[in-house]
Chain A
Amino acid sequence: MSHAPAIRHLTLDDLDRAIINRLQEGFPLDPNPFEIIATELGCSAPALINRLQRLIATGAATRFGPFFDAEAMGGAFCLCAMAVPQERFDAVAQAVNDRPEVAHNYEREHDLNMWFVLATESAGELAEVADGIEEETGLQVLRFPKLEEYFIGFKVTA
């Protein structure tokens, strides 16, 4: 899990940093894509591939590959929030997490202290699942579907 609390200090050199920064921007759709990036960064393609393997193995990066727009693929998503009484928090978290439609769930410091994302095949199912959680827990599920997206990126300067 990328959010593990104890993270080793990673030693990254200039080439690692250049790779992380460059590959957040995108990757060529060309038969020899690593050659193109390696030339840009002034290293060889095998060296670039080695570094990438190490960045992923050490946990400096979580994934390298295509990022698909889940909604464009036909899914439906909704950010939801609940105000859960502290004494019921763990039981409610369990009930929410047990539903396979809950993609992730975070505890946050706020009266609305549980924030989760529902992912279903259709918008109708979203409402069913959210209503089901309300019924099961007796707590209101506030729904915050995305109306407009301004940017999703990574842009961490390594």
Chain B
Amino acid sequence: MTVLDPIDRELIAATQAGLPLSSRPYARIADQLGLPEREVIARLAEMKARGIMRRIALAPNHYALGMTANGMTVWDVDDERISELGRRVGALPFVTHCYRRPRALPVWPYNLFAMVHGPDKTEVEAKRQEIAALLGTAFRASDMLYSTRILKKTGLRLSRNGG
């Protein structure tokens, strides 16, 4: 587990809703936390170097951009090849999440999960075929689960005091 100091936690809490859309966003956060701007930048850089922060970026709304179909594709991939192939599947431009997870035999033989987005089911199906072609003979079975309903969605909660 990575230890965050209290100032890092404050910084995370202060930026979780987003970065201020002003010309000097780090200075704005610095003012809010009573820190020098250069410390805010240095701490974010340090958290990025440690892998705590992945990056600062814009999250587009897939649905608003017309990518209304999403399928969770799942694959039973050779254990010896999954790391190499998983990285290649994850690098495909239409795959937004890609993980190796344990199988749950006998009901669930799949160990590679790749989320695919597209404008419609036909396109998502075509993309699934692209993944199948990439995996070639290294997978035995696959399935695709469309989401039909969002039952709950909340943001990440992080307590400020680290408790």
Contact = CB atoms under 8 A, between A and B. Distances in A.
Question: Are A and B bound to each other?
Answer: yes
A142 B108 contact: yes
A49 B148 CA distance: 36
A110 to B, nearest CB: 5
A62 B62 CA distance: 9
Interface of chain B: mostly helix, strand, loop or mixed: mixed
Interface string A93-118: 10011000011111111111011100
A154 to B, nearest CB: 6
Most chain B beta-carbon contacts within 10 A, residue among A25, A81, A149: A149
Interface residues of A, number: 83
A67 B153 CA distance: 17
Contacts, number: 254
A53 B102 CA distance: 41
B148 A109 contact: yes
B19 interface: yes
A152 B96 contact: yes
Nearest to B83: A148
Interface stretch (B9-17, B122-130, B134-142): B9-17
Contacts of B19: 27, 64-66
B59 A62 contact: yes
Contact of A63 (B25, B59, B102, B145): B59
Interface of A: 1-4, 7-8, 10, 19-20, 23-27, 29-35, 45-46, 49, 52-53, 55-56, 58-70, 72-75, 79, 81, 83, 93, 96-97, 102-112, 114-116, 119, 142-158
